[in-house]
Structures are given as C-alpha cells and as structure tokens.
Amino acid sequence: MASNVVTSSNFNAQKISFSAMKSLDSGGKQAYVNYDGGMFVMQTANCGLPFGLSAFDKAAGPVKYSVEISLRGHDEADSSVNKFYKTLVALDDFMVDQGVRNSKSWFKADLSRDVIKAFYSPMARYGKDKDGNVKPYPPNVKVNIRKKRDSDEFDVQCYDDQRNLYRGIPLEELLVRGTQMTALIQCTGVWVAGSKFGLSWKLVQSMITSLPQSKSRFTFVDDGDLEDSYKGKKASSTRGAKGEQEEQEEEEEEEEEEEEKAEDFVPPTKGKSVVSAMMPKAAPAIETLDDAEDDAEPIPVPKKATTTVVKKKTVPKAK
C-alpha cells in the first residue's frame, strides 16, 4: 500500500495507530506504527546537518549508522523549521498520551503522565551537560540509516535541488557537516526498553539544497601576516564543533543500547509497499521500503563475562 507523505500542514495524530506490543527474548518490547492505514513517512523542513554521517560500532553485531538533523530556527515564529518542530512536539505529546493509555501493557503498571513523560525519548532532543542543564545548541532529530539487503550500499536516495538523483557519489560525501536538506523519514516502530520508550526513524530520501564548499581548495593569499595570526588558533577554531559532536555522541551511547533491540522493527507483511518521492512523478520513486526480513526480531547477543565496549565514531569522508 502506498503511503502519503505527512507534512507539518497535514499532520493529524489521530490517524496514528499501533500494533500489539511484541515481547522480545531480551526483555524489550516493540510494535509497528501506521499512519492512516499505511506506513508513517514524514517530510522534514529544510534543515542542516551539524555533524554528518556517524557510525555506532559494537564489538558484536553490525555497525549502525545515523545522522543528526539540526532544528536551528525552531524558535523563529512561522518559519518552516518552527512549524516542523511544532509537529514533532504534537507527536511527542500524542506518544506520551499513548504511553499513559497503554501503561499496563507497555510498562506492566498504572503510571502517571509525569512518570510516562520522564520515560519518553522525544523526537527533538536537546543536548545536556553532566549536571542535566540544557546546552546552548538547537535541538536535533536523530534518524537511522540502513543498508540494502545483502549489500554494502546505503538504502537512501539523494537528490539535488533540481530533482536530479545523485549517482556514484558516496553517501558520506553528501551527508556531511554543513549540508542543508529536506528529508523523508520513515517511522520504523515504537520501542520499549526498561523505563525508556520512543519512536525510531530511518532516512529514506533527501533533497539536498546546499552542500558546503570543498575544503580542499586553498584560496587564501599569503600577505605575511596570516601565519602569525593563525599560530596557536588552529586547535581552538575547531574545538567548539568537535566538542559538541563528542558530547552529543556520549549522550547517545546509552540510548543506542536501549534502542538497538527494537529500533528497526516494522510489520512482517508479505507484500511490498511503495512510497512516492517528494518530487513530481517524473522523479524516481522509492521501491520496496517494506524490508520486513531485515526487521525481523533481533537475536539477543549472548551474555559474556566481560563488559561490551561501545565505540562511537564518525565515518571518514571517502577520498
């Protein structure tokens, strides 16, 4: 069944429905999410990427990829990012309400709304310091990036702003720090792990409206003062962005472990679904988004005497 793309202007939380929760051997739970009887695919505003493509590498299991979408401008009234942010807040409120309504089956207890809200991982996430204070950065939305079945190729289509499909360019060269894009993201399910729950999303398509200029072209003119003014400043010039990314990654490691057993779940249907591209019909459409075989129940990692080490790294740009 084809799914209509949900935008900020047509979003209606009452069209969202859930399957029954499925318990996993690991102790977690998961369910799939429908929107108006079909897949839940949402279109973002035109947003920037603060970090680029990242990888979550564990000693056991495949590497998992994701990207953070910045909501810079979310506080600017009536901007497209502001409208998208409000849609996410409305979705978060709906999910908390559903957590309260399904408290018994999801959490095995009748819990108050305040408790459920504390359990919930919101769509728009603010970075916090060690004391729990919100950092002075815009919130981000995390979306996972999948690879095609039995392939090392990412299952994402990228277009330029003229609706031309990028071909032969590695994804890590397109989804870099500073890229501006509008994205189609698909909800792959709701997960419950311990005292946490939330929605998982994957990137399906992106329309890239701006790529940062290549940093390989050196165009400065050496006027004799450049070297003196530059000494001692190289490290500090990049510390802010690098430090922010490292802090963001550290905050996500714990949540990655909670989500990993449920984040890729979608309904095990037999048929294939088709989601049209955000562009006119002349643009290619997404095929076979229903990757139920990939989303089968994860096999729990056998318990070991040693502690699993989680290592988060940024994917190096292909040369």
pLDDT of 307: 43
Q: Residue 94: which of 29, 6, 183 has the closest Cα?
A: 6
* 184 has a pLDDT exceeding 70: yes
Which residues lie closer than 8 Å to 246 by C-beta, 6 or more apart? none
The domain spans of the chain are 5-215+244-314
Is 244 a residue whose pLDDT tops 60? no
Output the six-digit token pair for 215.
Answer: 């940093």
Q: Are strands 157-160 and 38-39 parallel, antiparallel or unpaired?
A: unpaired
pLDDT at 194: 87
Each residue's pLDDT tens digit, 200-213: 999 999 999 999 97
In contact, 263 and 191? CB cutoff 8 Å:
yes
d(CA 124, CA 139): 6
Proportion of the chain above pLDDT 90, given as a percent? 55
Q: Model pTM?
A: 0.71
Both tokens of residue 266?
């979608």
Query: What single letter denotes the amino acid at residue 64?
Result: K
What's the whole-number mean pLDDT along residues 162-184?
95
Q: Which helix (H) or strand (E) holds 91?
A: helix 80-101
> What pLDDT is attached to residue 4?
81
Instruction: Give the range among 7-11, 24-28, 286-290 with minimum mean pLDDT.
Output: 286-290
| Residue 27 pLDDT level (bands cut at 50, 70, 90) | confident
Q: Which helix (H) or strand (E) holds 174?
A: helix 171-174
Q: Which residue has the higher pLDDT, 116 or 20?
A: 116
CA-to-CA distance for 281 and 272, rounded, in angstroms? Answer: 19
